[in-house]
Chain A
Amino acid sequence: MGFGGFSKQDHLQISSLGMEFAVAELLGIGLGFWLDSKCGTTPWMLLVGAVVGFALGFYIIFRAAKEMERQAQAGKVKKDNGRS
Chain B
Amino acid sequence: MDVAEIISHHILDHDWGLSLGGWRLPITTHSVTIFVVSVLLLVGLVYISRARASRSGRLLTTLAESYITFVRDSLVLPNMGAEGRGFLPYFCTLFLFILSINLAGMIPEMKTATSNISVTAALAICSGGVILYSGLKYHGIIGFLKGFVPSGTPVWLVPLIFPLEIISTIIKVCVLAIRLFANMLSGHMVLLCLLLIIFIVGKMHIAAGAGALLPAMVLEIFMTCLELLVAFLQAYVFTLLTAIFAGSVIHTH
Which listed residue, B73, B78, B150, B172, touches A16 by the CB 8 Å rule? B172
In the complex where A9-B79, A79-B79 touch, is A16 in contact with B175 (Cβ < 8 A)? yes
- A60, CB-defined interface residue at 8 Å: yes
B237 with A24: CB separation less than 8 A: no
Chain B, residues 177-200, CB within 8 Å of chain A (1/0): the string is 011000000000000000000000
A56 with B175: CB separation less than 8 A: no
B171 with A23: CB separation less than 8 A: yes
- B241, CB-defined interface residue at 8 Å: yes
Question: How many residues on chain A are close to B (CB under 8 Å)?
Answer: 19
Chain A, residues 49-84, CB within 8 Å of chain B (1/0): the string is 000000010011001000000100000000110111
B74 with A82: CB separation less than 8 A: yes
- B131, CB-defined interface residue at 8 Å: no
B78 with A60: CB separation less than 8 A: no
Q: B71-88: which have CB < 8 Å to A?
A: 73-74, 77-79, 81
Q: Which positions in B face A, CB cutoff 8 Å?
A: 73-74, 77-79, 81, 150, 164, 167-168, 171-172, 174-175, 178-179, 237, 240-241, 244, 253
Q: Which positions in A face B, CB cutoff 8 Å?
A: 9, 12-13, 16, 19-20, 23-24, 27, 56, 59-60, 63, 70, 79-80, 82-84
